Amino acid sequence: MNVIIDLLGASLIGGLVMLLVVNLNAYSQETKYASDADLRLQQNAKTLAEIMNDDLRKIGYNYSGTAITEAEQQRITFNGDINNDGSMDQVSYFLGSKADAEATPNPDDKVLFRVVNSDTIGGPTLGLTDLRFSYLNSKEISTTDPDSVCYVKAEIWVETVLPVGGEYPFTYWEMTINPRNI
């Protein structure tokens, strides 16, 4: 009888240990997935910021006249020689609609459009959900007059492309750029 009780007790303890091991494995996989998603989220935000940063610094480069032609909250259009080939380029940045990114699992992400001399380039969504521009004068006071803009502030909100635990974690990236040519 003692042998049966010992076997039942050992089986119960063995079963609990196996259950703990399986639970630990599931938890470690979930944590790894969440960590990877967070890393990819930060990389996507950085990529979007680098693309915009490179162009926004070239506002007015090799151009005389009003460099910024359109200064709206979700759209900017400016002139400058962005590829340093001696010819003036007109560049626009604006955010598309949710319908432009229907192929992605995230229902809220949108495509960032970059128009260079009427050539529209719709980039990957990278989880971009919102984009806002604000414009500051030399005293860092908000302005809507393109002639008095000295600083361009860009804010982007990026969510993960795939859900993590049923939700889409997000990050926010803000940059204030002082284009030297305006």
pLDDT at residue 117 in the model:
92
pLDDT greater than 90 at residue 171: yes
User: In which band, very low, low, confident or very high, does the pLDDT at 78 lie, cut at 50, 70 and 90?
Assistant: very high
Q: Which amino acid is at 120?
A: T
Cα–Cα nearest to 67, from 154, 175, 176, 180: 180
- Cα-to-chain-centroid distance, residue 29: 25
User: In which band, very low, low, confident or very high, does the pLDDT at 162 lie, cut at 50, 70 and 90?
Assistant: confident
Contact indicator for 92, 76 with CB cutoff of 8 Å: yes
User: In which band, very low, low, confident or very high, does the pLDDT at 182 lie, cut at 50, 70 and 90?
Assistant: confident
118 in the Ramachandran plot: left (φ > 0), alpha (ψ -120 to 50) or beta? left
Tokens found for residue 174: 């803000």
What does the DSSP 8-state code read for residue 70? E
Sort 117 into a burial class: Cβ within 10 Å, 0-12 / 13-18 / 19+.
exposed
